[in-house]
Amino acid sequence: MFESLKIGTSEFSWGSKTYIMGVINVTPDSFSGDGLINDIDVVVERAILFQNAGADVIDIGGESTRPSITYSKVRDITWEEEVDRVMPVIEELIKVIDIPLSIDTSKAKVAQNALDAGVHIVNDVWGLQKDPDMINVVVKKQCPVVIMHNKEIACYSNDLLKDITSYLKDITENLILKGVQRDNIIIDPGIGFGKQFQHNIEILRRLEELKSLHFPILVGTSRKSFIGQILGLPVDKRLEGTAATVALSIANGTDIVRVHDVEEIVRVARVSDMIIRESLGNYE
């Protein structure tokens, strides 16, 4: 059983239930087809729907992180462009959302602006490794941070999970030495990031091995391409496939699932928690 973590006004008691992170992309090129831009009212409405449906966190992203291994590379945007996309949304959501907000970014200046405005969590697909100033931002704010495994090229030894575990162990130990509080670290194996189809399958099969690191685990499988490959379906037809991966992730020890379809996945998590954790948790 992990210790509890206070994020904003919410208490996250690891092991008691599966927490739901709802995704809101304010981008024109989201891989999942849910990108929203230049319509703050729609974004706010979606966030409120997510909260009412049972989301525990809202994750806001202003730059597409679609994996280049699957999709053609998208244009990198500047930190100024990213701030211009996310800050108007964040400023509105802070007024109406009671659950914690997360900023999905690898840029220190974006994270700094978001945290200064009241965002609670930094979710970095590069694990604070891409922008050298990210560690300083997180240490200064002492905020929770999601550290994801990622690689430019999907090249691994004969033991994929050993590679991922070693990578995350090295990074988290270094972050702790630099002043990041251990209790603030959440790890993510990076489904779809620097991974081929079979890698994603193997991670889900062996997810429980990451528990050896003694950090809460976040998994993001929602609508991803490996589900589409299995089912032969486009992005907007992958809900049931996502639900299957979420249930299996919960069975193998995940603590947070990052999803686009909050209402449906809350139901999946509630049933899974009753079976696996023998508890309904704190669902409302």
What is the chain's alpha carbon radius of gyration, rounded to the nearest angstrom? 17
* 160 within 8 A of 121, measured Cβ to Cβ: no
- DSSP-derived 3-state class of residue 36: coil
d(C-alpha 115, C-alpha 109), whole Å:
10
Q: Which residues fall within 8 angstroms of residue 145, CB to CB, at 6 or more apart?
A: 121, 122, 123, 124, 128, 138, 175, 180, 184, 185, 186
* 256 within 8 A of 20, measured Cβ to Cβ: yes
One of 109, 258, 267, 270 is an active-site residue; which one? 258
Q: Which residues fall within 8 angstroms of residue 45, CB to CB, at 6 or more apart?
A: none
One of 85, 224, 237, 267 is an active-site residue; which one? 224
Would you call 205 a catalytic residue per the annotation? Answer: no
Indicate the burial class of 271 (C-beta count within 10 angstroms; 0-12, 13-18, 19 or more).
middle
The encoded tokens of residue 223 equal: 């609508």
d(C-alpha 59, C-alpha 144), whole Å:
13
Q: Which residues fall within 8 angstroms of residue 75, CB to CB, at 6 or more apart?
A: none
Would you call 162 a catalytic residue per the annotation? Answer: no
Please, what sign has the CA dihedral across residues 238, 243, 248, 253? Answer: positive
The set of catalytic residues is 224, 258
